[in-house]
């Protein structure tokens, strides 16, 4: 798998605050929040906003993009053939560390045209889809077990007209028909600590495989480990049922997590809401019990500083969000799918709704929320965090990022990607590409753990926190020094404490996500629990991503 250098963009503090505040709906800029003592306990602290920052000098905030590693691999080393981690799908590790993936597998089939009124003349809906399952030991090479549950293509042959390929036959000797059509890791991403409720999932059955097929069964469950439906005949009996629970009425198989006493999900707002506002936006649904849902509320509109020219009309296509940090001081990080739509030709419209435009490419930016997804602000201005491929036939011309999987000191982002434009058919029904259809697959990008934003000092710099209280006796840094990092622990009036000054600190010169800080005096921090204290980080040619008391 070929590597690609990470894209990094430096942002000064004033620009960061101004641009971050520009897209908040229903909340003031974070810079205006009154300073007070922050109780951070022993939770990890990142620097994506100024929630914990009093002042900085000589440093710049820097956005770090993940390193693209290319398409996943089939078990024999070939590039991943087809299938993408989309709404409701997941890549995760079970309690033993093995990788599991549910993904959307689909193929074109013009015969579905008359199976449902919602399909009709819009050829973009002439396909079949189902949930497939694969597993892996290394997270890169994937084995597809034969499930024998659903008829699917046993191969494809080339033809000269749409859809440019057709199944060579149908059989059940495949990995299709996974009964779990929605699953999320609540412990990793949903702000739920209970190990008995690690996974939230839905087991469902549909009447057919076309996109508007009727739902016949739907049951929601919790699970403490990966539900091994492929190998354990009694897997269903080991799950904890959630009577009468449902997904949101949006129709997308998404639940973001639990916060402030309610479940919520964020995704593309319903078409009936955004179509009259000039383009796609992000909405939010909420529920106290996974049974009764309210919404959608518009929580992320496209602001005025985005391009709105016919050749580049920005829409917010979708957003996948997950919890970063702990339950007390953490936040929700949104992977915003930004759609650069092309409106220069009426052929780029949806044939059954001329207010919907389909041509364009997507990229991913970062957003964050500290109020359970009710308001969002930018992370790193409008910098692209996960870009699309620059070549016309590149494997990820469209990118849809999903929640990460922790692997050692890294976060692995498995993302859905397409090797072509979002436009599949012109409004008159002809194909946009004259000799092929775009294919959806799954790719991997890798980021340092919690390495989204760092304070960077090219020479000397200082980062000072607001007064805070903490739990624990030790301080560890997520840092990458070319020179060193020193830390001073000060009282609430900003005076260094005895034995814990900058000059007392042993320079941190090791690159790592949890590097301990020590002082020559041998002083410990246990007596300072309950504080308040301030921290001053002295950077000498170093990058500081975050810190934690432990």
pLDDT value of residue 10: 55
**Tokens linked to 536:** 């001053």
CB neighbourhood size of 361 (10 A): 21
Which tokens is 530 given? 């309950």
Provide the residue-wise pLDDT of the chain in tens; the chain has 550 residues.
Answer: 444 334 445 555 444 444 444 343 333 333 344 468 999 999 999 999 999 999 999 999 999 999 999 999 999 999 999 999 999 899 999 999 999 999 999 999 999 999 999 999 999 999 999 999 999 999 999 999 999 999 999 999 999 999 999 999 999 999 999 999 999 999 999 999 999 999 999 999 999 999 999 999 999 999 999 999 999 999 999 999 999 999 999 988 899 999 999 999 999 999 999 999 999 999 999 999 999 999 999 999 999 999 999 999 999 999 999 999 999 999 999 999 999 999 999 999 999 999 999 999 999 999 999 999 999 999 999 999 999 999 999 999 999 999 999 999 999 999 999 999 999 999 999 999 999 999 999 999 999 999 999 999 999 999 999 999 999 999 999 999 999 999 999 999 999 999 999 999 999 999 999 999 999 999 889 999 988 999 999 999 999 999 999 9
Q: How many residues would you count in the chain? A: 550
pLDDT computed for residue 251 by the predictor: 81
pLDDT in the model for residue 35: 60
CA distances from 244 to 217, 220, 369 (A): 12, 8, 29
pLDDT digits (tens, 9 = 90+) for 157-181: 999 999 999 999 999 999 999 999 9
- As a whole number of angstroms, the distance between CA 182 and CA 187 comes to 16
Looking at residue 31, what is its pLDDT? 39
Q: What are phi and psi of 468, to 5 degrees?
A: -145, 160
Q: Dihedrals φ, ψ of 527, to 5°?
A: -75, -10
The full set of domain ranges for the chain reads 19-62+453-549, 67-448
Q: Which fold has domain 19-62+453-549?
A: Jelly Rolls (2.60.120)
| 67-448 is a CATH 2.115.10 domain | yes
Measured between alpha carbons, how far is 40 from 34 in angstroms, rounded to an integer? 17
Report pLDDT digits (tens) over 519-547: 999 988 999 998 899 999 999 999 999 99
Using a pLDDT cut of 70, give the percent of the chain over it: 94
Q: Is the pTM of this model over 0.85?
A: yes
**Measured between alpha carbons, how far is residue 335 from residues 313, 472, 547 in Å?**
19, 32, 23
Structure tokens at 445: 């990008």
């Amino acid at each position: 798998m070929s590597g690609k250098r990470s894209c990094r963009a430096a942002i000064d503090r004033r620009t960061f605050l101004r641009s971050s505040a520009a897209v908040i709906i229903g909340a003031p800029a974070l810079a205006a929040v009154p300073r007070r003592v922050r109780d951070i306990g022993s939770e990890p602290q990142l620097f994506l906003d100024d929630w914990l920052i009093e002042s900085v000098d000589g440093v710049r905030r820097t956005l770090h993009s993940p390193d693209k590693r290319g398409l996943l691999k089939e078990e024999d080393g070939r590039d991943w053939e087809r299938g993408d981690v989309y709404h409701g799908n997941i890549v995760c590790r079970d309690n033993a560390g093995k990788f599991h993936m549910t993904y959307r597998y689909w193929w074109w089939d013009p015969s579905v045209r008359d199976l449902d009124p919602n399909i009709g003349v819009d050829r973009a809906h002439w396909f079949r889809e189902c949930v497939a399952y694969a597993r892996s030991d290394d997270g890169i090479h994937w084995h597809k077990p034969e499930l024998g549950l659903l008829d699917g293509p046993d191969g494809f042959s080339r033809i000269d007209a749409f859809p440019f390929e057709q199944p060579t036959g149908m059989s059940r000797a495949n990995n299709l028909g996974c009964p779990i059509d929605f699953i999320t890791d609540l412990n990793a991403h949903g702000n739920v600590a209970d190990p008995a409720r690690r996974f939230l999932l839905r087991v469902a059955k549909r009447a057919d495989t076309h996109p508007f097929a009727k739902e016949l069964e739907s049951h929601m469950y919790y699970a403490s480990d990966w539900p091994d439906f492929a190998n354990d005949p009694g897997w269903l009996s080991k799950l904890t049922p959630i009577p009468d629970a449902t997904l949101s009425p949006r129709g997308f198989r998404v639940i973001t997590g639990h916060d402030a006493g309610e479940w919520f999900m964020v995704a593309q707002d319903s078409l009936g809401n955004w179509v009259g506002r000039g383009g796609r936006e992000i909405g939010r649904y909420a529920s106290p019990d996974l049974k009764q849902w309210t919404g959608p509320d518009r929580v992320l509109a496209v602001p005025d500083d985005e391009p709105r020219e016919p050749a580049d009309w920005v829409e917010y296509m979708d957003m996948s969000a997950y919890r970063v940090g702990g339950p007390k001081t953490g936040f929700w990080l949104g992977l915003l799918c930004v759609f650069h739509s092309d409106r220069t030709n009426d052929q780029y419209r949806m044939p059954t709704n001329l207010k919907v435009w389909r041509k364009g490419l997507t990229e991913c930016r970062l957003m964050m929320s500290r109020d359970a997804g009710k308001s969002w602000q930018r992370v790193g201005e409008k910098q692209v965090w996960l870009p699309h491929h620059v070549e016309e036939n590149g494997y990820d011309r469209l990118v849809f990022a999903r929640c990460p999987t922790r692997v050692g000191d890294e976060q692995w982002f498995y993302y859905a990607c397409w090797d072509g434009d979002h436009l599949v058919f012109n409004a008159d029904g002809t194909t946009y590409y004259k000799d092929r259809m775009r294919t959806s697959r799954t790719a991997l990008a890798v980021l340092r753990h919690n390495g989204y934003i760092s304070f960077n000092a090219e020479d000397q710099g200082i980062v000072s926190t607001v007064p805070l209280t903490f739990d624990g006796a030790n301080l560890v840094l997520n840092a990458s020094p070319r020179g060193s990092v020193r830390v001073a622990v000060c009282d609430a009036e900003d005076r260094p404490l005895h034995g814990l000054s900058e000059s007392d600190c042993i320079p941190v010169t090791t690159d790592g996500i949890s590097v301990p800080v020590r002082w020559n005096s041998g002083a410990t921090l246990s007596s300072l629990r309950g504080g308040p204290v301030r921290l001053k980080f002295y950077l000498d040619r170093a990058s500081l991503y975050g810190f934690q008391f432990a």
